[in-house]
């Protein structure tokens, strides 16, 4: 009897509705598409990428249905192009039912090879991504077209997101968001055109059509991944009126549960006493000690164990999820009477937070702000301790939640603009009858520089530490011999605010001194290490994002041998700057020298007060960056005195 009812239900639904995905199909007789000469020169090009998200209200029952259809046609021209398109991974996350998966290849001579569905493999619980269906495209040879079409019925969820920009060009891109009578919103980011309303049979929705989507290119000082074109949407049940404010508020309530404990967990209260021996210490000291304690006693675990957010379990096992660990901090900070605000945001290199369009993908990073110290705890970064905001978050918007569970959005910025800087003093002499150069160097690293150096030397594997020590004694000097290398203030636990990490070193090199007849060319520029050079043959795509504001002050003393005189010092004078509208320096590189007898003193000042620059400022910014690279090429000529 139950079976009969089920069949009747099925018949009813399929008759009453003609959903878009059911009508949609690929061409019965496929043929190769026309391409321009430029398109034919690409390793591969997508002729069509079409995404359809369709929400359906079933006739019976009140469970909303959601269908997602993806249809792609790609032309592959060489081995690299084939490899880009011939393996297909379909995420089964939230998938209730696979309506259909099909794929085919059309070769230049018109032969069509249909995917044998028996060759679709299932892969369960992949890392943190869930289950997948995977298959390799059959019959793809050079100049073929690979076509993939699949429709998945997914568990109803109100939100979704799709990255549209890929590593290959796309000729035509369609995004269809079919929500019918349901309240739905869709937003395109960094797209060249807008969504337009249209009908889909009896239903309605919005479509976005993009032509010639270029691949995102890798650029330095940029966040290319989070600058990709993408679409995000929301769709709710019939007759609801859900606002973004409600969504944020709801999420804040859920996420911050247990983050403002009324009473401190008794076990944690005991621990807090052992960590913080001086209760009158300031918030910076207390929060630093707490951060150091958690990072040397707790492990963040990424798996599906739900207990990892339960405070009793966490305290017992010293293991927590990335959200659960915030609770440990909360209890400790509460016990130590340190004011704190949980912060929810995302990695700025992965996703740019948009407070005006709720999107759960934006809620990936959890931090704690200590307002009295103006500093952040970054729980999932064992390489960090209480500090200015780490570079992967700097500049993104975050939700700051106070202990009354009120929340506000702020752009997350650095408080101390002079936080990260490097001071280097060098003394250079020529030894053994001009055989080699000796460089004695004292370096002071502050802020993020210091944090990074400490993390390397304490946490990295041996080989990486070796490479790092090479960097600390001067990169890019190929025949360098390290005579002395000492570091100070290496420990991760540093309670004095912004205490510098110190390196004292001495190296020798023969290659810095080149021969030219009886004269010598001293490659003085190389002593500052390899400097990055920004090329730009093509138009800059991404605005500039530096890791953090930065400053360098170098003093290089060169002791010229008594029986030589120097020439060519003018190459040491470089000045490049980028000014704002009021004429203030936003960034600068300036080098100069003084010659006092046989003592040549070179000074360099380079700084970047801002970490973000508009794309229109790119040329000016590039000149400053490249000025350091110019200095790196500076050389002076030493001639024997007559």
Partner 1 sequence: MTTSYLKFPVLLLLFVMQYSFAQKNPSEDFRFLERTENIKIHLDKGNFEIVKNIHEKAEYVTANKLYFANEVLRFDSFTKIEDIEAVTYLPDSGKKLEVDYIETKHEFDDGIFYSDQQTKNFTFPGVTKGAITDLKYKEVINEPHFLGLFRFGTYAPTEKAVLRIEFPKNVEIGYKEFHTENITINFQKEEKKNHNIYTWTTENVAKFSSEDDAEAALYHLPHIILHIKNYTENGKTIPILNNVNDLYSWYASLAKRVDESDLKKVHEIAEDIAKNYSTDREKAEAIYNWVQENITYVAFEDGLGGFIPRGAASVCKNRYGDCKDMANLLYVMLNHVGIPAYRTWIGTRDRPYLYDEVPTPMVDNHMITATVIDNDTIFIDGTDSYVNFGMPSSFTQTKEALIGISPERFVLKKVPVQPAEKSKTVINTTITFEDGNIKASEKRVMTGYERVDFVTDYLYKKKDNTEEEFLNTTLALGNNKTKYQNITVSPIESKYKELTLAFDLQIENYAKTIGSKTILNLNIDRVLSKQKIDIETRKYAKKIDHQYQKEYTTTFIIPEGYKVTSVPKPIKFDGKDYGFDIHYEQKDNQIIQHKSIYINTLRVEKEDFEAWNSFVKKLIKAYKKSIIIEK
In this structure, what are the phi and psi dihedrals at residue 500, rounded to the nearest 5 degrees? -70, 150
What is the number of helices (H) and of strands (E) in the chain? 12, 35
Q: How far is CA 523 from the centre of its chain?
A: 36
Quote the least distance from Cβ 276 to partner 1, whole Å. 18
Q: Is 339 or 469 the residue whose CB approaches partner 1 more closely? A: 469
- Among residues 482, 572, 562, the alpha carbon closest in space to that of 522 is found at 572
The two three-digit tokens of residue 92, written as one number: 């089964």
Report the C-alpha dihedral over residues 363, 400, 265, 282, rounded to 10 degrees.
130
Q: Is 105 or 420 the residue whose CB approaches partner 1 more closely? A: 105
Q: Is 98 or 513 the residue whose CB approaches partner 1 more closely? A: 513
Q: Is 343 or 572 the residue whose CB approaches partner 1 more closely? A: 572
Q: Is 418 or 469 the residue whose CB approaches partner 1 more closely? A: 469
- Among residues 128, 118, 144, the alpha carbon closest in space to that of 93 is found at 128
Q: Is 517 or 583 the residue whose CB approaches partner 1 more closely? A: 517
How many angstroms separate the CA atoms of 368 and 336, rounded? 15
Quote the least distance from Cβ 313 to partner 1, whole Å. 9
DSSP 487-545: EES--S---STTPPEEEEEEEEESTTEEEETTEEEE-GGGGG--------SS---SPEE
Q: How far is CA 189 from the centre of its chain?
A: 17
What is the H or E stretch that residue 21 is in? helix 20-23
Quote the least distance from Cβ 435 to partner 1, whole Å. 10
Q: Is 39 or 630 the residue whose CB approaches partner 1 more closely? A: 630
Q: Is 536 or 601 the residue whose CB approaches partner 1 more closely? A: 536
Degrees, nearest 5: CA angle 177-183-187:
45
Q: Is 158 or 290 the residue whose CB approaches partner 1 more closely? A: 290
Q: Is 109 or 356 the residue whose CB approaches partner 1 more closely? A: 109
Quote the least distance from Cβ 66 to partner 1, whole Å. 26
What lies within 8 Å, CB to CB, of 36 at 6+ separation is none
Q: Is 89 or 374 the residue whose CB approaches partner 1 more closely? A: 89
Quote the least distance from Cβ 451 to partner 1, whole Å. 15
- Among residues 464, 465, 572, the alpha carbon closest in space to that of 527 is found at 572
- Among residues 152, 150, 208, the alpha carbon closest in space to that of 175 is found at 208
Q: Is 109 or 535 the residue whose CB approaches partner 1 more closely? A: 535
3-state secondary structure 137-203: CCCCCCCEEEEEEEEEEECCCCEEEEECCCCCCEEEEEEEEECCCCCEEEEEECCCCCCEEEEECCE
Quote the least distance from Cβ 130 to partner 1, whole Å. 10
How many angstroms separate the CA atoms of 144 and 525, rounded? 52
Quote the least distance from Cβ 516 to partner 1, whole Å. 5
Q: Is 34 or 478 the residue whose CB approaches partner 1 more closely? A: 478
Quote the least distance from Cβ 296 to partner 1, whole Å. 3
Phi-psi region of 562 (alpha: psi -120 to 50; beta: other; left: phi over 0): alpha
Quote the least distance from Cβ 83 to partner 1, whole Å. 6
DSSP 314-382: HHHHTEE-TTHHHHHHHHHHHHTT---EEEEE--TTT----TTS--GGG--EEEEEETTTTEEE-TT-T
How many angstroms separate the CA atoms of 563 and 447, rounded? 43
Quote the least distance from Cβ 150 to partner 1, whole Å. 18
In this structure, what are the phi and psi dihedrals at residue 433, rounded to the nearest 5 degrees? 55, 50
How many angstroms separate the CA atoms of 165 and 161, rounded? 13
3-state secondary structure 206-229: EEEEEEEECCCCCCCCCCCHHHCC
Quote the least distance from Cβ 27 to partner 1, whole Å. 22
Quote the least distance from Cβ 514 to partner 1, whole Å. 4
- DSSP 8-state code for residue 387: B
Quote the least distance from Cβ 584 to partner 1, whole Å. 29
Give the CA distances from residue 613 to residues 226, 247, 542, 544, in Å, rounded to whole numbers and listed in that order: 16, 32, 10, 5
Alpha-carbon torsion (85, 88, 90, 91), positive or negative: negative
Q: Is 19 or 229 the residue whose CB approaches partner 1 more closely? A: 229
Q: Is 87 or 240 the residue whose CB approaches partner 1 more closely? A: 87
Quote the least distance from Cβ 256 to partner 1, whole Å. 25
Quote the least distance from Cβ 113 to partner 1, whole Å. 7
């Amino acid at each position: 009897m139950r079976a009969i009812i089920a069949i009747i239900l099925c018949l009813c639904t399929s008759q009453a509705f003609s959903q878009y995905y059911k009508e949609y199909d690929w061409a019965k007789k496929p043929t190769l598409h026309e391409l321009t000469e430029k398109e034919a020169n690409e390793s591969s090009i997508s002729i069509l990428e079409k995404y359809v998200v369709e929400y359906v209200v079933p006739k019976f029952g009140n469970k909303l249905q959601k269908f997602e259809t993806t249809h792609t046609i790609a032309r592959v021209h060489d081995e690299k192009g084939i490899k880009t398109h011939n393996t297909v991974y379909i995420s089964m996350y939230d998938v209730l039912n696979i309506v259909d998966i099909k794929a085919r290849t059309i070769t230049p001579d018109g032969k069509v090879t249909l995917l044998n569905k028996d060759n679709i493999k299932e892969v369960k619980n992949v890392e943190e991504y869930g289950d997948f269906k995977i298959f390799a495209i059959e019959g793809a040879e050079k100049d073929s077209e690979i076509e993939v079409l699949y429709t998945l019925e997914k568990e109803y969820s109100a939100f979704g997101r799709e990255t549209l920009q890929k590593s290959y060009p796309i000729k035509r891109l369609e995004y269809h968001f079919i929500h019918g009578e349901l309240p739905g919103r869709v937003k395109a980011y960094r797209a060249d055109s807008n969504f337009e309303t249209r009908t889909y049979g009896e239903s309605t929705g919005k479509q976005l059509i993009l032509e010639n989507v270029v691949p995102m290119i890798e650029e330095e000082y940029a966040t290319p991944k989070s600058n990709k074109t993408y679409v995000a949407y929301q769709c709710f049940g019939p007759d609801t009126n859900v606002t973004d404010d409600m969504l944020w508020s709801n999420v804040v309530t859920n996420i911050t549960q247990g983050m403002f404990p009324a009473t401190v967990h008794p076990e944690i209260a005991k621990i807090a006493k052992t960590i913080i021996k001086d209760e009158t210490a300031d918030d910076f000291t207390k929060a630093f000690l707490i951060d150091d304690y958690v990072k040397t006693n707790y492990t963040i675990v990424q798996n599906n164990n739900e207990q990892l957010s339960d405070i009793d379990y966490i305290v017992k096992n010293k293991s927590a999820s990335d959200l659960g660990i915030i609770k440990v901090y909360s209890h400790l900070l509460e016990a130590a009477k340190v004011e704190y605000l949980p912060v929810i945001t995302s990695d700025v290199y992965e996703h740019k937070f948009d407070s005006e369009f709720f999107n759960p993908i934006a809620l990936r990073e959890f931090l704690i702000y200590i307002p009295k110290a103006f500093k952040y705890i970054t729980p999932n970064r064992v390489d960090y301790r209480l500090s200015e905001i780490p570079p992967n978050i700097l500049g993104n918007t975050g939700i700051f939640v106070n202990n009354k569970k009120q929340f506000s959005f702020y752009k997350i910025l650095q408080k101390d603009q002079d936080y990260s800087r490097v001071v280097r003093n060098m003394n250079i002499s020529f030894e053994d009858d001009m055989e080699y150069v000796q460089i004695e160097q004292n370096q002071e690293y502050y802020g993020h520089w210091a944090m990074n150096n400490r993390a390397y030397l304490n946490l990295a594997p041996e080989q990486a530490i070796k490479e790092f020590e090479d960097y600390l004694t001067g990169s890019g000097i190929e025949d360098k011999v390290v005579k002395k290398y000492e570091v100070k203030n290496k420990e991760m636990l540093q309670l004095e605010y912004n205490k510098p990490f110190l390196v004292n070193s001495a190296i020798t090199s023969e290659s810095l001194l080149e021969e030219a007849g009886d004269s010598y060319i001293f490659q003085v520029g190389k002593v500052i290490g390899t400097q990055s050079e920004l090329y730009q043959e093509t138009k800059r795509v991404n605005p500039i994002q530096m890791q953090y504001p930065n400053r360098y002050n170098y003093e290089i003393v060169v002791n010229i041998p008594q029986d030589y005189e120097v020439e060519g010092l003018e190459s040491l004078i470089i000045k490049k700057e980028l000014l704002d509208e009021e004429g203030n320096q936003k960034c600068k590189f300036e080098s100069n020298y003084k010659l006092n007898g046989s003592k040549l003193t070179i000074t360099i000042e380079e700084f970047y007060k801002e970490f973000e620059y508009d794309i229109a400022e790119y040329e000016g910014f590039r000149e400053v960056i490249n000025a350091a690279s110019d200095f790196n090429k500076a050389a002076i000529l030493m001639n024997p005195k007559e």
